[in-house]
């Protein structure tokens, strides 16, 4: 892409839910010369999940799964729109769907996305966090999420099926898609404290609307272990997939070392 004026090295399309503000906030921390990020939203109806539970009589897990089902139907439109910009790579800026159903479900989800993107490279949250953990040689991990219990169960299933020992998964069970981005710093810190331990090699944060890019690099020094925000993992994976090896200081060990 040497002839491009503003995106000489990569134009990365980013697929995000319409309710998500965390991904774009995090992307703005990675302003690399010759690289452009192109978010493409897919529609998510703005609902408070607790209100949905009350209105339908369904439990939290059922409502959250319905939310994901709506996502599946909208994602192809978002992919179509961003591909028209002639992007060089696709990065998925949502994470729950990439873990759903464990390894088998993750593979099937990727297959469905690839049917729409052809030969373009693809970065998913599940694969990116796995590759990041492999860099550090982690074996025993813990995870924090903004999900209800059904989301936590699927995250645990995925990581256990690919060979990790999962000591703890702390779900913050946020009441809506937008409320994820409104999670307080204290809630995040408390969740990390709950899942940490001397036998935990690394801590992963799932949920792309839960930004921890400002917190985790400092916590890594305090806890003396890798802390991997999913948005940083996907940014790192997408950049490396595009052949961009820039090290970024101050955004965590993953971007500094690998």
CA gap 55, 82 in Å, rounded: 35
- Tell me: do 31 and 77 sit in the same domain: yes
- Tell me: do 53 and 114 sit in the same domain: yes
Q: What is the mean pLDDT of residues 42-54?
A: 74
Residue 252 inside a domain? The answer is no
Residue 36 maps to which CATH number? 3.40.50.12500
pLDDT bucket at 46, cuts 50 / 70 / 90: low
In total, how many domains does the chain have?
Answer: 2
Q: How many CA atoms lie within 13 A of 244 on its CB side?
A: 26
- Tell me: do 113 and 235 sit in the same domain: yes
Range of the domain at 169: 128-229
pLDDT at residue 247 in the model? 96
- Could you give the 3-state DSSP secondary structure of residue 18? coil
CA gap 87, 19 in Å, rounded: 23
With 60 as the cut, is the pLDDT of residue 249 above it?
yes
Please state the pTM of the whole predicted model. 0.94
pLDDT, the chain, mean: 93
- Tell me: do 94 and 180 sit in the same domain: no
With 70 as the cut, is the pLDDT of residue 183 above it?
yes
Residue 4 inside a domain? The answer is no
With 70 as the cut, is the pLDDT of residue 3 above it?
no
Closest CA to 23 of 34, 33, 12: 12
Residue 14 inside a domain? The answer is yes
Residue 256 inside a domain? The answer is no
């Amino acid at each position: 892409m040497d002839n491009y004026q503003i995106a000489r090295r990569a134009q990365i399309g980013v697929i995000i839910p319409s309710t998500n503000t965390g991904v774009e906030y995090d992307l703005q921390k990675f302003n690399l010369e010759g690289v452009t990020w192109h978010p493409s939203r897919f529609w998510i109806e703005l609902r408070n999940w607790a209100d949905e539970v009350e209105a339908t009589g369904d439990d939290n897990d059922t409502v959250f799964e319905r939310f994901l089902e709506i996502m599946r139907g909208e994602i192809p439109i978002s992919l179509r729109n961003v591909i028209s910009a002639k992007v060089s790579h696709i990065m998925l800026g949502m994470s729950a769907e990439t873990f759903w159903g464990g390894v088998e479900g993750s593979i099937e989800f990727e297959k469905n996305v690839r049917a729409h993107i052809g030969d373009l490279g693809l970065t998913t949250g599940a694969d990116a966090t796995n590759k990041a953990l492999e860099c550090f040689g982690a074996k025993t991990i813990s995870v924090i999420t903004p999900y209800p219990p059904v989301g936590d169960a699927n995250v645990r299933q995925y990581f256990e099926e690919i060979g990790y020992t999962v000591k703890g998964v702390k779900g913050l069970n946020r009441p809506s898609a937008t409320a994820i981005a409104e999670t307080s710093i204290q809630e995040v810190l408390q969740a990390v404290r709950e899942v940490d331990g001397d036998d935990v090699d690394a801590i992963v944060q799932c949920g792309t609307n839960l930004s921890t890019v400002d917190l985790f690099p400092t916590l890594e020094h305090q806890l003396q272990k890798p802390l991997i925000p999913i948005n940083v993992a996907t940014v790192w994976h997408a950049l490396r997939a595009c052949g961009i090896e820039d090290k970024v200081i101050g955004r965590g060990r993953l971007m500094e070392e690998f």
